[in-house]
């Protein structure tokens, strides 16, 4: 029996994604359907999914004629499920077959019918942060008032943080990780985050500028200078248990990535960071970080509002627009 002299470079490294609604995918889908309609061809795929085999080896293992093996291989190759190449053997060259796909995903989603607004929205509660590093003044509040204690970063580890509706800190960051459900079969036009926030002053102060910096997947999108910490009136959603004289509401702020760069409140801030630079294909999550830098010009802290505090009944919202 001939022996394979070298290991092919491509063995199942392609993730194949096709859409039933895409006209350009129809011919490929038909070819795959034909290729997988034969139990013998499925057996061949199972044989070569972990190691390459020659036609002769496949014919011998499946106990079928070499001519039939060649026909089955041609059908699988036409569908893009396998690839073949000639390699040197003991008695000249031989044809070696290898699997060309790691996974096959068939999407029934119709971009015209199933997504009238061409967008996907995910809302994260403000207490569901993944990581943090904060310094006082800092704290968390829920519907029953203060969670744990004032001005101690230890309270940010509390299990009750999941019930937080208001979070504040003077310096440091909070990081949120959203599930990465970007549809790879559609063209992403914009990825945006929106949240209600304001500065963090003692009590409150309408004139208290703070430089709040935002990161997406650890890349700095830009800095927003919030004008103050607002508490003259009660927030529209803020519960009665939260006394006047403290922070009451904030400003709804948006942070966006497009093909041409980063935006804050629809104004361009950073052309160097865009949808193509933040590695959206690299992780099963999308990281969003709110930060007060230690070297900021205006170190004025930040308050982040949940759906039951402030003026806007929402947590931190991530939207993907196609």
The CATH number of whichever domain residue 137 belongs to comes to 2.60.120.260
Please, are residues 258 and 160 in contact by the beta-carbon 8 Å criterion?
Answer: no
Entry pTM: 0.67
Residue 57: inside a domain: yes
Residue 193: inside a domain: yes
Claim to verify: residue 141 and residue 250 sit in the same structural domain: yes
Claim to verify: residue 294 and residue 270 sit in the same structural domain: yes
In tens, the pLDDT along 246-265 reads 999 999 999 999 999 999 99
Claim to verify: residue 173 and residue 46 sit in the same structural domain: no
Residue 6: inside a domain: no
Claim to verify: residue 285 and residue 145 sit in the same structural domain: yes
In tens, the pLDDT along 140-162 reads 999 999 999 999 999 999 999 99
On average, the pLDDT of the chain sits at 90
* Domain stops at, among 77, 107, 137: 107
Report pLDDT for 111.
52
Residue 165: inside a domain: yes
Q: Could you give phi then psi for residue 31, rounded to 5 degrees?
A: -65, -40
- In terms of pLDDT, which residue wins out, 162 or 24? 162
Integer angstrom CA distances of residue 248 from 106, 186, 311: 48, 40, 8
**CA dihedral for 305, 155, 148, 201, sign (positive or negative):** negative
pLDDT band at 117 (very low <50, low <70, confident <90, very high): low
Report pLDDT for 267.
96
In tens, the pLDDT along 170-220 reads 999 999 999 999 988 788 999 999 999 999 999 999 999 999 999 999 999
Look-up of token digits 């491509």: 10
Domain that holds residue 266: 119-321
Between 62-76, 78-92, 274-288, 295-309, the lowest mean confidence (pLDDT) is in: 78-92
Report pLDDT for 6.
42
Kindly state the tokens that stand for 148: 């744990």
Residue 309 has pLDDT above 70, yes or no: yes
Report pLDDT for 51.
87
* Domain stops at, among 52, 85, 107: 107
Number of folded domains that form the chain = 2
Residue 28: inside a domain: yes
Residue 142: inside a domain: yes
Residue 9: inside a domain: no
Question: Mean pLDDT throughout 276-303?
Answer: 97
Claim to verify: residue 45 and residue 170 sit in the same structural domain: no
Residue 5: inside a domain: no
């Amino acid at each position: 029996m001939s022996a394979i002299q070298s290991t092919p470079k491509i063995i199942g490294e392609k993730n194949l994604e096709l859409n039933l609604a895409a006209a350009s995918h129809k011919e490929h889908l038909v070819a795959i359907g034909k290729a997988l309609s034969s139990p013998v061809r499925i057996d061949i795929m199972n044989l070569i999914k972990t190691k390459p085999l020659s036609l002769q080896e496949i014919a011998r293992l499946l106990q079928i004629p070499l001519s039939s093996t060649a026909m089955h291989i041609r059908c699988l190759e036409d569908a893009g499920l396998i690839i073949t190449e000639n390699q040197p053997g003991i008695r000249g060259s031989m044809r070696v077959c290898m699997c060309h796909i790691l996974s096959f995903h068939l999407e029934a989603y119709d971009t015209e019918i199933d997504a009238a607004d061409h967008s996907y929205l995910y809302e994260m509660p403000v207490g569901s942060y993944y990581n943090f590093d904060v310094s006082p003044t800092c704290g968390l509040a829920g519907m029953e008032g203060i969670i744990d204690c004032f001005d101690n970063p230890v309270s940010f580890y509390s299990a009750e943080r999941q019930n937080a509706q208001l979070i504040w800190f003077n310096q440091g960051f909070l990081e949120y990780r959203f599930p990465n459900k970007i549809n790879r079969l559609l063209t992403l036009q914009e990825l945006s985050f929106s949240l209600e926030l304001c500065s963090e002053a003692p009590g409150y102060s309408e004139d208290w500028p703070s430089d709040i910096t935002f990161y997406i997947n650890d890349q700095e999108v830009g800095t927003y200078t919030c004008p103050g910490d607002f508490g003259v009136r009660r927030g529209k959603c803020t519960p009665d248990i939260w006394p006047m004289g403290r922070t009451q509401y904030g400003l709804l702020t948006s942070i966006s990535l497009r093909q041409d760069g980063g935006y804050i409140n629809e104004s361009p801030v950073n052309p160097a960071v865009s949808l193509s630079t933040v590695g959206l294909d690299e992780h099963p999550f999308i990281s969003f970080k709110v930060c007060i830098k230690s070297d900021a010009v205006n170190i004025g802290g930040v308050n982040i509002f949940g759906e039951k505090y402030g003026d806007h009944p929402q947590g931190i919202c991530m939207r993907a627009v196609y």
